[in-house]
């Protein structure tokens, strides 16, 4: 184990020169964060995984792996108990105490930035690919993703009309909990060519007042296609008095995205394309 730690340090030094961290010989990987796990599977490296976090639920087979807990509440001993030789994690994983213990135990941790834009996806793919020693496969995948995004962007730029969209996460006592900037919904909307009406108003998800809603005048309302707690019938939103005063409410225009589309990963180009088609119609 000590030798492995030394190797890890050496690998780190070598990686520092190459510009990326590489651990091609790892066989006991813990993957923290849904998109990371998805990338590992997409690269066909799932046989090297020994555990995942609670947010890693795609593909279905990933749920058979032991679950080390929610990505922000990892237990140090829990993660160590699966005997990892590499941890791939979103950079917001934590708590910091746990990450510190993992470092002390000499286990390399590759932190992948959390970003809600097109570049973030291909960057994550390349980082995970490099770490796994599958740089070529990852490069091909990243380029495929970039090409998909580029095609979508062309379609979006060719379109003169902007569509103002409001993303509704949930309804709380008649008020809408909606997405501002820095959210997966905001990122997805801008990829799909829609304008988040709350994109410049605030960051994160917030409850908004009726007046702010009427003033925003969205053309369409976007909601999750959810089966869980966020399940909301179209009527539950469209019958809210303030909503009926907006163009979206008058047209009864509700568009749905799958839940997973709010996390950015290899399926994001597809999700953004579907959303684009749902908003603007298939060309």
Partner 1 sequence: MSLLEQVRQPRRRGRAAVEAIAGDRTDRARLLTAALCAALVLVALASLGWGAADDTRALPALLSRFGLAEAELRDRVIVWGVRMPRMVLGVLVGAALAVTGAVMQGLFRNPLADPGLVGVSAGAGLGAVSGIVLAGALPALLTGWLGLWLVPAAAFAGGWTSTLLLYAIATRQGRTSVATMLLAGIALAALTGALTGIIVYRATDQQLRDLTFWGMGSLAGANWSRVMLAAPLILAALAAAPFLARALNALALGEAAAAHLGVPVQRMKTIAILTVAAAVGASVSVTGGIGFIGIVVPHLLRLMQGPDHRYLLPNAALLGALLLLLADGIARTVIAPAELPIGIVTATLGGPFFMWILLRNRAVMDL
The residues binding partner 1 (CB under 8 A) are: 1-2, 5, 51, 54, 66-70, 72-73, 75-83, 92, 94-98, 100-101, 104-106, 182-183, 203-206
Which of residues 70 and 151 has its CB atom nearest to partner 1 in the complex?
A: 70
SS3 for 148?
A: helix
Q: Shortest Cβ distance from residue 235 to partner 1 (Å)?
A: 26
Least Å distance, CB 28 to partner 1, is: 11
Minimum CB separation from partner 1 for residue 67, in Å?
6
User: How many whole angstroms separate alpha carbon 196 and alpha carbon 202?
Assistant: 11
77 vs 161, beta carbon nearer partner 1? 77
Residue number with CB closer to partner 1 (159 or 206)? 206
**What's the min distance (Å) between Cβ of 183 and partner 1?**
8
Residues 272/191, Cβ–Cβ less than 8 Å: yes
DSSP string, 107-122: --EEEEP---SHHHHH
Quote the least distance from Cβ 268 to partner 1, whole Å. Answer: 18
Backbone φ and ψ of 207, nearest 5°? -80, 135
Q: Which is nearer to partner 1, 55 or 268 (CB)?
A: 55
Give, in degrees to the nearest 5, the angle at Cα 279 between 151 and 140.
25
Q: Are 55 and 73 in contact (CB under 8 A)?
A: no
Question: Which CB sits closer to partner 1, 152 or 185?
Answer: 185
Spatial distance between the Cα atoms of 106 and 104, rounded to a whole number of angstroms: 5
Place of tokens 């290899």: 266
**Both tokens assigned to 236:** 């539950």
């Amino acid at each position: 184990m000590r030798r492995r730690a030394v190797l890890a340090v050496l690998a780190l030094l070598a990686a520092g020169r190459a510009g990326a961290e590489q651990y091609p010989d790892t066989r006991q990987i813990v993957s923290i964060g849904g998109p990371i796990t998805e990338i590992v599977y997409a690269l066909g490296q799932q046989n090297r995984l020994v555990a995942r976090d609670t947010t890693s639920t795609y593909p279905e087979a990933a749920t058979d792996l032991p679950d080390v807990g929610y990505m922000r509440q990892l237990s140090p001993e829990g993660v160590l108990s699966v005997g990892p030789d590499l941890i791939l994690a979103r950079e917001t994983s934590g708590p910091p105490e746990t990450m510190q213990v993992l470092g002390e135990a000499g286990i390399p941790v590759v932190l992948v930035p959390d970003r809600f834009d097109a570049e973030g996806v291909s960057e994550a793919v390349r980082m995970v690919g490099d770490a796994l020693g599958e740089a070529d496969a990852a490069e091909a995948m990243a380029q495929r993703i970039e090409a998909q995004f580029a095609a979508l962007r062309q379609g979006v730029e060719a379109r003169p009309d902007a569509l103002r969209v409001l993303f509704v996460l949930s309804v709380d006592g008649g008020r809408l909990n909606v997405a501002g900037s820095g959210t997966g919904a905001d990122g997805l909307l801008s990829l799909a060519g829609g304008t988040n009406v709350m994109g410049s108003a605030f960051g994160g998800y917030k409850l908004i007042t009726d007046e702010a809603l009427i003033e925003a005048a969205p053309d369409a309302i976007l909601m999750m296609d959810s089966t869980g707690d966020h399940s909301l019938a179209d009527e539950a939103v469209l019958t809210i008095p303030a909503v009926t005063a907006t163009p979206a409410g008058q047209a009864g225009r509700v568009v749905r995205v799958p839940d997973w589309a709010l996390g950015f990963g290899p399926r994001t180009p597809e999700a953004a394309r579907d959303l684009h088609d749902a908003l603007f119609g298939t060309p």
